[in-house]
């Protein structure tokens, strides 16, 4: 609807605005857009290459850490096998010593060693001396010394405090 003041007469189509095209300006604008696109593509390629390089670096570091851990585990296993072989050798030596101890502790072996190596002679009844060990020949002084030191120590603390 049209009001009385705003009456439309004629064609209401807008007149197109015409701008003369300058081929140099259009060519420069196209060149600028192409450079911007190339720059954006170059930045994307650089970013993707950086991501690839970072991933390669991380994979390299992880590989080094894994190899280091395997080396540590190998060294520990080698030490463990060396220790097991040493334990086995010590156990064999211990068994040999037990056999020697059992053979040396027999009464016949002791008597033979005493007479042959140490040139000892078996005592007869006239040379035997009997001792009566039933009565207490030694004083028990260790308890008194402990009590004296305890009392002395407590007394020293009380003396220093008061």
Tokens for 85, please give them. Answer: 């072989």
Question: Ranked by mean pLDDT, which of 16-30, 116-130, 137-151 comes out on top?
Answer: 116-130
Please give the pLDDT value at position 114. Answer: 87
| Separation of CA 47 from chain center | 38
Please give the pLDDT value at position 112. Answer: 86
Residues 6+ apart with CB under 8 A from 2: 8
Total residues found in the chain within this entry? 162
Please give the pLDDT value at position 6. Answer: 65
- Angle (CA) 107-112-115 rounded to 5° is 125
> What confidence tens digit (pLDDT) does each residue in 32-62 have?
999 999 999 999 999 999 999 999 999 999 9
From residue 85, give the alpha-carbon distance in Å to each of 54, 67, 80, 94, 98.
Answer: 47, 27, 9, 14, 20
Rounded CA Rg of the chain: 55
Distance in angstroms (rounded) separating the CA atoms of residues 108 and 116 = 12
Please give the pLDDT value at position 126. Answer: 85
Residues 6+ apart with CB under 8 A from 121: 115
Q: Is the predicted pLDDT of residue 29 greater than 60, yes or no?
A: yes
Please give the pLDDT value at position 31. Answer: 92
Distance in angstroms (rounded) separating the CA atoms of residues 3 and 39 = 56
Q: Can you tell me which residue has the tokens 């060519």?
A: 27
Please give the pLDDT value at position 13. Answer: 58
Q: Select the more confidently predicted residue: 99 or 84.
A: 84
Please give the pLDDT value at position 129. Answer: 83
Query: Would you tell me the crossing angle of helices 23-104 and 107-116 to the nearest 10 degrees?
Result: 80
Please give the pLDDT value at position 63. Answer: 97
């Amino acid at each position: 609807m049209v009001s009385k003041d705003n009456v439309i007469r004629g064609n209401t189509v807008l007149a197109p605005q015409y701008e003369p095209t300058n081929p140099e300006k259009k060519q420069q604008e196209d060149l600028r857009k192409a450079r911007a696109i190339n720059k954006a593509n170059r930045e994307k390629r650089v970013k993707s290459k950086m991501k690839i390089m970072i991933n390669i670096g991380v994979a390299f570091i992880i590989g080094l850490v894994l190899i280091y851990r395997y080396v540590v585990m190998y060294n520990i296993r080698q030490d463990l096998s060396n220790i097991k072989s040493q334990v086995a050798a010590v156990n064999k030596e211990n068994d040999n010593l037990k056999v020697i101890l059992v053979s040396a502790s027999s009464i016949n072996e002791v008597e033979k060693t005493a007479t042959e190596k140490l040139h000892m002679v078996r005592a007869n009844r006239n040379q035997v001396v009997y001792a009566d060990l039933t009565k207490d020949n030694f004083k028990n002084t260790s308890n008194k010394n402990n009590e004296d030191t305890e009392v002395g120590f407590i007394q020293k603390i009380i003396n220093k405090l008061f």
